[in-house]
Amino acid sequence: MIEGERPREQRVDHAALSEVLVVVESRIGGGSMITVDEAAKRSITVMAVPGSPHVATSEGANLLLAQGCAPVCSVDDILVALGLDHRRTQVVSDPRPKPTAADRRVVDTLLARPLTFD
């Protein structure tokens, strides 16, 4: 942390300086999600690395993916988003429709606590 600055201020600065924000791991209430909010305010592309649904530190990234965020499965995905990989012409976006409010409630319920098949 930069001396004299609070974590939120740094997140705002990092979001402002980024062309693409990649969330690798985050709890739903984690600091990375604050950075995501700041990036969204600035129309900065947000991408996320999928994680295990059984790991709390994957909840934030998985929620972003459920909300339509572009997935990062390899470094190539990031290079394409930055316009630096000209070998592929794939558009980094998810063609699926955005989740509805009802869909988000289901995802929120599933991510709220560990569940069993029973």
How does residue 1 score in pLDDT terms, banded at 50, 70 and 90?
A: very low
Write down the mean pLDDT value for the chain: 82
pTM over 0.95: no
Contact 39, 18 (CB under 8 A): yes
Domains of the chain: 7-112 (3.40.50.450)
Q: What distance in Å separates the CA atoms of residue 39 and residue 19, rounded to the nearest whole number?
A: 9
Contact 43, 65 (CB under 8 A): no
Token pair 């984690």: residue:
30
Contact 8, 34 (CB under 8 A): yes
